[in-house]
Amino acid sequence: MKRYLPFAIIVAVAVVTIGVGAMLYRAKMRVSPSAAAPPAGTASTAPADSQEKESLHARGPATAPVTLEEFGDFQCPPCATVSGVIDKLEKDYGPRLRVIFREFPLAMHSHAVEAAMAAEAAGLQGHFWEMHDMLYQYQAVWSKVSDVSHFFSAYAESLGLDVERFKADSQSDAVRARVISEGDLGVSRGVKNTPTFFINGTQLRGAFTPENLRAAIDAALAGKQSP
């Protein structure tokens, strides 16, 4: 019995280590989804605004025939690039397009959660989209520093926010819960990377070039116009 004791200790330590690691990841990022993710290649058809109706981050009319929903990470370079593309699409399609943004900070990005919480904190003062745009515009600056709090506070001040309230909100449990909830929603719908897009509830596949996004929107519009 004694000769098996060291092996039992090693196994017990391994189990504890894995458990603690999982807890830390969950605290930093998001809770594991309560519902299983759909099989690969399966697109979710859940309505884009089926959850969090009061606090949904959306631009464009709810009656728009096409809804482009993004799960994004503010420290993700491709997300920053595509944000400019989406701005142009919004201008080109006008009231025919609604854009929704959902938080999906990735563990590989050291400041992604802080940035998501900064955007949500700004949203509590009615300036989510302004902070969204600023975080992407200056991503190359703040993503390279060790302490982003000073930069985010400066952005909040430039937007005319109550900075002290912003600081408190950006560290609050309620804001963290919002970020976790959106991450959970993404996982339950098969989101793994950023950016991930859905058009009218159907996940887009392939490269998110301006041409491909425009083609997907045009196809959705054509489908809405069909008898």
Reported as a pLDDT band with limits 50, 70 and 90, residue 169 is: very high
Q: What is the pLDDT of residue 223?
A: 87
200 is a domain residue: yes
Total domains in the chain come to 1
Q: Strand order of the sheet with strand 66-72?
A: 58-59, 97-103, 66-72, 196-199, 202-203
Q: Chain-centre distance of CA 204, in angstroms?
A: 16
Q: Which residues does residue 197 pair with via DSSP β-bridges, in sequence order?
A: 70
Query: Do the beta carbons of residue 128 and residue 57 sit within 8 Å?
Result: yes
DSSP state of 2: G
* CA nearest to 75, candidates 205, 195, 210: 195
User: Are 105 and 116 spatial neighbours (Cβ–Cβ below 8 Å)?
Assistant: yes
Residue 55: predicted pLDDT: 75
Q: Is residue 138 part of a domain?
A: yes
Question: What is the CATH classification number for the domain harbouring 139?
Answer: 3.40.30.10
- Average pLDDT over all residues of the chain: 82
Say which residue, 184 or 26, is predicted with more confidence.
184
Q: What is the mean pLDDT of residues 156-185?
A: 98
Give the integer Cα–Cα distance in Å for 191 and 183.
9
Position 11 in a domain: no
Residue 20 lies in a domain: no
Cis peptide leading into residue 195 (ω within 30°) = yes
Question: Tens of pLDDT along 18-68?
Answer: 333 333 334 344 433 333 333 333 333 344 444 444 479 999 999 999 999
How big is the chain, counted in residues? 227
Domain membership flag for residue 21: no
pLDDT of 29 reads 46
**pLDDT at residue 220 tops 50:** yes
The closest alpha carbon to 186, from 7, 35, 59, 54, belongs to 35
- Give domain status of residue 23, yes or no: no
The answer to the question of residue 14 being in a domain is no
Structural domain span for residue 164: 31-225
7 within domain boundaries: no
Residue 71, pLDDT above cutoff 60? yes
Task: Count other C-beta atoms under 10 Å from residue 3's C-beta.
Answer: 6
